[in-house]
Amino acid sequence: MRIIIMAGGKGERLRPITKYMPKIMVSIHGKPFLYYLIKKYGSEEIVLSVNYLKESIKNWCRQTKNYIEFIEEPEFLGTGGGLRIAELFVCDVNKFVVMNGDTYIDEDLKKIYKSHNYKKDIATIVYAKNKITNEIRNSGIYVFNKEIFKYLKTPKVFNIETKFNNIPHKIYESKKEYVDIGTFEGLKYAKQNLLKEL
């Protein structure tokens, strides 16, 4: 299973913390959030899409011997534009997982991955309850087949969720809750609870 983690954003909602580090590198119990994603999904093929302060991510991966492939966005492209340039990294698979780099959910991604019929489904969107707002919404986790790239040609900069009205998709309703560490409330929750959930 190949997982593309979108980690190119500027983390505007977490300023000033993210003035000097990308949000995937924000510290939780002395380790970057990326550490926890790798701990949960490290047995899979992880690809990181990076742009903002990318060297801090690459240096940490080298120092900790986490040999991860990187997609380097030449400029800030949003999650949709960033995914568009990832096409070469998934040309040898029928389907793949994409997740936002600020999302954590204690869910079995393999189960979701297996539920996605790449011959019928272009996209599966994982809906779950947000631990902070209690709203059931798009969690920022997806399974796509390669047909998705036909829908990503324009505009140059956009977020993937803006395209779903035009992309045939199905909803996977997770019984788990997710946390978005890209907000101060979500980050506080993660600091209090993330170690318990791993």
pLDDT (average), residues 143-170: 90
Place of tokens 């809750």: 177
6: which 2 tokens? 């979108």
Closest CA to 128 of 161, 96, 147, 105: 105
Domain span at residue 116 reads 2-196
pLDDT at residue 15, as a whole number = 93
List, for residues 95-115, the tens digit of each pLDDT value: 999 999 999 998 999 999 999
What strand order describes the sheet that includes 123-130?
69-72, 45-50, 2-7, 95-100, 136-145, 123-130, 169-180, 103-105
The sign of the CA dihedral 9, 65, 143, 71 is positive
Q: Is the pLDDT of residue 187 over 90?
A: yes
Share of the chain above pLDDT 90, in %: 67
Pairing of strands 136-145, 95-100: antiparallel
pLDDT at residue 31, as a whole number = 92
Q: What's the domain count of the chain?
A: 1
* Average pLDDT taken over every residue of the chain: 91
Q: Which helix (H) or strand (E) holds 63?
A: helix 54-63
Q: Is the pLDDT of residue 196 over 70?
A: no
pLDDT (average), residues 76-90: 90
Q: Is the pLDDT of residue 175 over 80?
A: yes
Q: How far apart are CA 85 and CA 65, in angstroms?
A: 26
Any idea what the CATH number is for the domain that residue 161 is in? 3.90.550.10
Q: How far apart are CA 157 and CA 94, in angstroms?
A: 25
pLDDT at residue 142, as a whole number = 96
* Residues sharing a CB contact under 8 Å with residue 139, sequence separation 6 or more, in sequence order: 103, 105, 126, 127, 128, 130, 174, 178
